[in-house]
Structure 1
C-alpha cells in the first residue's frame, strides 16, 4: 500500500449572514427585467484565442498484466509484470515487464528471468504492419522515438538483426552493427551480411555503408563499400544485375543484365541482354500479363548474334538466331460463347542447338516446332452456328521447312432433323434423318527458314475452301443391330490451277500455274451395321468366394460399305512424244493437282470394311474385408482388328489386317501398347507383292509385315509417390517444348531464368528425429521395339530402353539421372546427371552431360531467396556448338 499526507490551513471565522428585509417593495409591471438589460448576445463566429492545454496522453491507454499492475502517483509511473500487454493508439507492446513513466512520456519494456535463470517473454513491439522483437525497448509516446536493443525485424523476405536500433519516426530506423539474412535459424544464421551502419525505411529500402558477407560468423572478402536493398511490398521497377563468367570460344561475358519494368498490377516487362568480349551479344524481352477471371499469358522474344572464334581463323563464323514464345489462355467463365488461346514457339531452326543462354534438351532432341493461335465463337441460335479462326505453324528443324496457315477459317451449322417430331423421341429411318453444313478455308504457305518473315514467303501461297454437307440417319433392326447410312456432298474452291503440256524441243513436261477461280464437286455414300456382344464367365460357387469371381468380355463387331464414284471429267490429257519422234502416248492429269484440299479421284471405289474391338475385365475379391463389392480390374483395355475388301479392284482386293491393343498392369503403373500389320498376300522373288494369297504360296495365313511394342513403368517409394511434377511450372514448360512428362530427355535449364533453382516444398510429416531409413526414390522406364518385314528383311528397325529417376540420398542430398540404351546400335543415348545439395538458405546444383554432341557441365551455388538471387556463383562448360 502507498499513502501520503499534508498540512491544512486553519479555518477563518465565519461571517454572519446578512438579514433579509421583510418589507415588500412594489414593482412596476412595465419595467424591463434587469437580467434582460445586462444580457449580451454572443457572436457565433467568435473563436477563443487561448489554445487549450494539450492532454497528457493523446490516446487511451489499455493495459493488462498477469501478476500485478501498480501505479506510483508520486513518480507518475505505472508498473506491469508478467505477460504485460499495453496498447496506445496503433502501438502495441507485449513483454514480461513494462514500465510507463507519465511525467517523461516514456515506456520501457523488457523480458523477465524464469526460475531457471533464462531470459523469457522478450518484448514484441508492433506499430502498424511493423513488428520488432528486441531484448528491451525504450519508447517515447510524445516524440514517437525509440531505442531498441538486440532487435529482430522482418524486412521483406529477409530479417534484420540489430544490436542497437534508433527509431526516428514511423518510417525511418537507424541501426548499428546489424545482420541481414534470409536464414530460418535467426539465433545462429548460417550466413548474413553485416551492416555496420544502415538506414531502414520499412517496406521500401535499406541503405547501408560498408557491408560484407559472413558465413557462420566467418568474414569473407565479398563485400561492398555501400549497398541498397529494395524492400517494396509490391512489384516495382529496377535494375537486374548481370552474371559474369567465361566461355572457351567467346571469351568473358556478362549475361542476363537489364531492367525490369513494373508497368501495372496486370502486366510487367523485363528487358535483358548479354555481351561477350569476342563481339557476340544477345537481347531478350519477357513479359507476363494477367487479369483475374479474364485471361493470363506470357510472351518472350530472344535474339542472339553469335560469333565463333576470331576473324581470320579458319573456324570463324557468324550467325544470328531468334526465338518467339507466346502462351495465352482465357478463363472460360468470362465469356462462355467465345474463346481465344495461343501457344506459339517459332524461330530459327537451330536456335536451341546454338543458343548460349539456355539448355533446352526437349527442344534439342525434338525436330518439330509448332504454334497455334485460335479464336472461336458460338452463336446461340437454332440451329447453333460455330465460327473459328486459326493460324498454325509447323517447322522442321532438320529440313528447315515451314508450313503455315494464315489463317484457317472454319464454320459449321448444328445438326438439323427436318423430319423429327416436335415432341417426343425420334424413331425410325425418316425421323432420324439429319443434315449438317460445314466449311473450311485455308491460306496455306510453305517456305523455308531463310525466307521466313520475308515477302517471298507469300509467293507460293495456296488458297482454297471446302464445303461439306453430310446427310445421315440411323435405326435399329432385330432389336440388337444398329444401322447407320449416309451420303456426303463436297465442293472445293481454289484460286490456282495448273496446265501441263509437253515441250518437244526441250523434251520435258512443262507445268504452268493458272490464276483464277475454279471448283470441283464430289459425293460419296456409306453405311454400316454394328452391334455389341457381352459375355460373362462366373467362377463363384456356393459357399466359396474365389479370388477371381468373374471375367467379362465385350465385343463390338462392325461392317461398313462405302462407294466413291470416279470423277474423271475433271481429268485432261497431254501428248508426249518419244525421243525418236515416232511413238506418242497420252498422259492423264487433273488441273487441281497440288490444291489445298486435294484433287478429285478418278477411280471408282466400292469397298467393305470389317472391324472388331474387344474389351476384357475381371471382378476380383477386394483385399479390404470391409468392402461390400468386388473390385473391377482391366485385363485388356482394347484389342482392335480391322481390314477391308475392295469390290472394284482388279487385284489385291484385301487390305492388310491391322491390329492394335493396350492395357494397364500393376495398379496402372505399367502401360503396355502393341500393334501389328498382317498381310494376306505373298511376295515374289523380287520381294514385290503379288496377287496371290500367302497361304497358297506355301506360307502361313498372314505375313507379318510390321509390329511394335511400347511399355512404360513407374516405380517409387512411399515418399516418392507424393511428388507431383505436373505442378512444377518448369516441368510443364518442358512438356510444351516437346519433352516428356517422365523427363526421359532430362531437365531443361534456362540460364536466363533466375528462379530455375527455386526452393522445393518440404513435407510437413516428420516421423522422428532420425532420418527415415526408407530412402525416397523414383524410377521411370520406357521401352520400345519396332519390327519390319515388309520385304523379307526380317529386322528390328529400332530397339531402345529409356529411363529416368531420382533418389534422396539424405535429407539434404539428392541425385537424378536420365539416360537410355539403344540395343540396335549398341550405345547409350542422351545422358544427363544432376547432383543437388540443400544448404538451408543456399542451394548447390551440378548437372553433367558426360558424352555425346552436347557434352557439357554446369555448377551453381546461390541463395534461394529472390531478394538476394544475384548473390551466386555459376560456372559452366558449354558444348561445342560447331558439332
Structure 2
C-alpha cells in the first residue's frame, strides 16, 4: 500500500506520566511515553502495552510514502514523516514500526553525499524539544537505545552520545553534556562520563567535568542530581570565587537534608585561601498556621593579621508560634563571640557597619469580643562598640482595653438616633517596664522601673451634620524607681475638645486630558488642658501629698489642602493627587517663654506627573529676634526642598532569555545621599534612563553666636545601552555647598551570551575601590569575582 501526502488518523492510548524534571531524562522520556501504532486505512488499533487505557485518542500523521507488510506486521513511514498528537509533534526521515514485536525505530535519510542528515528524528512539545540520530525502542519491554540525542527543556540543552533505556523506570547514558548555552559549540558545559537515571528518584553521574569551551576546569568523581518534585535532600552546588580579603575561595560545599515536610537543615562550608574555613548551618521549621522559625549558626577557624589562630562563632534565630487563635509568641536573637565577626565574613555594607546585636521575646494575647489585649515582652541589645548590654523592657507588660461604649448600646451599632449620652466611650491601659544597662564599669550601670496606667473617656458628636465635635478626658499615673533607689509617682489629668469639618470644591473643566478638579479643605481646631502632680505617699494611687505643677493650656490649629485631578487617557479615567499643602500652628497659654504662638509648620508636595516629584517643608516663627510678635510677616526658621525628576526610554531590547535580563540597578528615587550608590546593581531593561535629584535645606541659627546651617546637593543617575549586550550606568552625588563630589560609581555590564561580566568602579568616597565579576547567567554561583578597596574587602 502506498499513499502520498495523505493525512490519516488512528488510535493511541493516553500518555503515561513523564519521567521527571532532570533534562537528561527528556532524551528518552518522550519516546517512552508516546506509544505509536501503525494501521491500515480501514481500522483503528488500540495500544497493547502497560499504559493501555479504555479511551481511544486520535493521532494524525503524514508522510511522502507509507508501506505496510501485513505478514510481518511492519509499517514503514518514509520521507517528511510528521506525527501529531495534541501539542506533541514527532518528525523523522523514516519510522519503522512492527506490530508483532512492538519495536519502533526512527532514523534520518541519506543526503546526496550518503550522510544520514535528512529528516533527523525530532520531538517537540510546547517549549520542549528532543532529537536523536537513531532511536530504537520496544513498547512491550520498555527498553530502547538513543544515539546522538539532543534535548531542550526549561532553557537547558542536552547532548548524549548514547542512551540505553532499560525500562520505564531506569535509564543509562554515556558521554552526555548539559549546558544552558544554545550554541552548537557550547561556551561551557558539564560533561558526564556515565549517568544512571531512576525515574522520580535521582540521577547518578560519574566523572563529571566542568568545561569552558573544550578546556576542563573542574572535576568531580561523582554527583547525584535529585529528580523528585519539591524539597529533596541532596548535595549543594559548589561555588568558586576570589577576592582580596579571602583570596581564592571554594564555598557552598555541603548538604541539604529534608527528612520531613515540616523541617529541613543545611550544612555548608567555605574554604578560603587567606582566612581558613567557615562552616554555616541552618535549621528551618514550619508547621502551617502553628509555628515557624529558623536558626543559623556560623563558625570560623581563621587567622589573625599577625598569623595567629582565630576561632569565633555567630548565632541568629527567630521563632513564631500560635498557641491559640488569640495567643501568639515571637522571639529572635543574635549572639556572637567576636565583635568583628561580620566585618571578617560579610560582603554586605550595612551588615558590615551594624554594631549592635538585638534579641527579643514577646507574647501577645487578644480577646476580640471584648477588645482587650495583653502584651508581654523582653528585649536585649548588645553594643559591640562600647561593650555595653542594654536590657530594654526586661520585662515589659502592657494591658489594653480598647474603646468601648459606657452605656448599653453595642460597640458596632450606630449612635445615630440614640440619646447623646450613649455616644460616650471609655478605654483603659496599664503597663510595666523595667530598663537597665550593664557596663564594664559597674558605676555606669543604670536602672529604671516604671509602672503606669491610663483611663480615658471620649465622645463624638455631629450637631449640624457637617461639623464634628470630639471631647476627651484622660487620667494617667506613672510610678518609677530609678538607679538611685528613689521612688517617684506622677499623675496627669488632661482634657481636650476638638472640632473639624471637610469642605469640597469641584470643578469640571475639559482642557486636554484634564476632566475634573477636586479641592478638599479640612480645617481643624482643638483645645487641650493638662495638669500634673508629683505624689508623695499614698497607696495604689490613692492618698498621699500632691505637689501640683502649673497647668498647661494649648490651642492647636491646622488646615489641610488636597488638590486631586481626574484625567482621561485612552478612554479610561485616572485619578491622582496633584498637590497638597498642610499648615499647623498653636498657642500655648502657660509657657514660660515670651513666645506663646508656636511656629507655623508647612508641608506640601507637587506631583504633576509620575516623572516629577517636588516636596517642601518649612517652619516660620511669629516672633523676631527681639521676641516681638509679627503675625502677618512671620520669619523663616527652616526650609527643606527635595526634587526628583525621572526620565526613561521605551524598552526596545529583544525578548531573549539572556538579553532580557536586567543587570544594573537604578540608584533609586529616595533622597538619601549615598546609601543607594553602594547597593547591589539590579536590572535595567530600558534603552536609557536619567534620574536627577536635588536637595536643599536651610536652618536659621537657634541662638546668638551660632551660624546658620545650609546644605544642598544634587544627585544624578544616567544609564544607557549602546547595544543589547553592553550597558553602562553612572551615578554621582555632588555637594553644591562644598563644591565637591562626595560619592560616585561607574558600572559597565557586558552580556557574553550565556555568561555575563560586570565591572563597578567607586573612584571617590569611603568605599573607594572596584569590583569585577564574571559568572554564568543561569548558574550565578559559578563565578569569578575580585574586589579591591571598600570596607576591608
| TM-score normalised per structure 2 | 0.74
1:412 aligns with 2:400: yes
Structure 1 residues 557 and 145, CA, compared in 2 at 3 Å: closer, same or farther? Answer: closer
**Number of the residue aligned with 1:665:** 607
- Offset, 1:740: 8.6
**Number of the residue aligned with 1:261:** 257
**Number of the residue aligned with 2:228:** 233
Match of 1:77 among 67, 74, 79: 74
- Offset, 1:567: 1.2
My pick for the range that moved more, 522-531 or 385-394, is 385-394
Once the two structures are superposed, residues 602-626 of structure 1 have per-residue CA deviations (whole angstroms, 9 ceiling, x without a partner) of 5322312231222142657x46585
Once the two structures are superposed, residues 655-683 of structure 1 have per-residue CA deviations (whole angstroms, 9 ceiling, x without a partner) of 43141312232324433333233334444
1:707 aligns with 2:639: yes
Once the two structures are superposed, residues 192-224 of structure 1 have per-residue CA deviations (whole angstroms, 9 ceiling, x without a partner) of 344455555565224244746252xxx214253
Match of 1:387 among 374, 389, 393: 374
1:796 aligns with 2:709: yes
**Number of the residue aligned with 1:522:** 491
**Number of the residue aligned with 1:640:** 583
1:430 alignment partner, SS class: helix
* Contact 2:407–2:422 under 8 Å retained in 1: yes
**Number of the residue aligned with 1:656:** 598
* Paired residues for 1:792-871 under 5 Å: 793=706, 795-804=708-717, 806-866=719-779, 871=782
| d(CA) in 2 for partners of 1:432, 1:125 | 72
| d(CA) in 2 for partners of 1:301, 1:373 | 19
1:472 aligns with 2:418: no
2:421 alignment partner, SS class: helix
1:359 aligns with 2:331: no
Structure 1 residues 874 and 529, CA, compared in 2 at 3 Å: closer, same or farther? Answer: closer
Name whichever structure is richer in strand by fraction: 2
* Contact 1:304–1:355 under 8 Å retained in 2: no
- Offset, 1:469: 0.7
My pick for the range that moved more, 404-413 or 152-161, is 152-161
1:559 aligns with 2:471: no
Structure 1 residues 864 and 270, CA, compared in 2 at 3 Å: closer, same or farther? Answer: farther
1:872 aligns with 2:767: no
* Contact 1:390–1:408 under 8 Å retained in 2: yes
* Paired residues for 1:476-495 under 5 Å: 476-477=462-463, 480-494=466-480
2:393 alignment partner, SS class: strand
| d(CA) in 2 for partners of 1:287, 1:802 | 43
* Contact 2:143–2:164 under 8 Å retained in 1: yes
**Number of the residue aligned with 1:513:** 485
* Contact 1:445–1:457 under 8 Å retained in 2: no
**Number of the residue aligned with 2:433:** 442
Structure 1 residues 741 and 83, CA, compared in 2 at 3 Å: closer, same or farther? Answer: farther
| d(CA) in 2 for partners of 1:394, 1:805 | 41
| d(CA) in 1 for partners of 2:141, 2:217 | 39
1:147 aligns with 2:142: no
Structure 1 residues 857 and 262, CA, compared in 2 at 3 Å: closer, same or farther? Answer: farther
Once the two structures are superposed, residues 169-200 of structure 1 have per-residue CA deviations (whole angstroms, 9 ceiling, x without a partner) of 445444444322222x2645333344455555
| d(CA) in 2 for partners of 1:192, 1:93 | 27
Which stretches in structure 2 are left out of the alignment for 5+ residues?
3-46, 656-660
| d(CA) in 2 for partners of 1:878, 1:169 | 58
**Number of the residue aligned with 1:693:** 628
* Contact 1:440–1:465 under 8 Å retained in 2: yes
| d(CA) in 2 for partners of 1:300, 1:457 | 36
| d(CA) in 2 for partners of 1:854, 1:160 | 44
- Offset, 1:413: 1.8
- Offset, 1:716: 2.7
**Number of the residue aligned with 1:745:** 676
* Paired residues for 1:608-627 under 5 Å: 608-617=554-563, 622=567, 624=569
| d(CA) in 1 for partners of 2:465, 2:97 | 95
RMSD of the alignment, in Å? 5.2
Structure 1 residues 619 and 159, CA, compared in 2 at 3 Å: closer, same or farther? Answer: closer
**Number of the residue aligned with 2:202:** 204
Which stretches in structure 1 are left out of the alignment for 5+ residues?
3-55, 499-511, 572-591, 593-599, 685-691, 750-755, 764-773
1:439 alignment partner, SS class: strand
| d(CA) in 1 for partners of 2:469, 2:653 | 48
| TM-score normalised per structure 1 | 0.67
Once the two structures are superposed, residues 334-388 of structure 1 have per-residue CA deviations (whole angstroms, 9 ceiling, x without a partner) of 9875566678778799759x6244332345577887777655343232x322233
Number of paired residues? 715
My pick for the range that moved more, 289-298 or 659-668, is 289-298
| d(CA) in 1 for partners of 2:321, 2:762 | 35
Structure 1 residues 123 and 464, CA, compared in 2 at 3 Å: closer, same or farther? Answer: same
1:355 alignment partner, SS class: helix
| d(CA) in 2 for partners of 1:214, 1:163 | 19
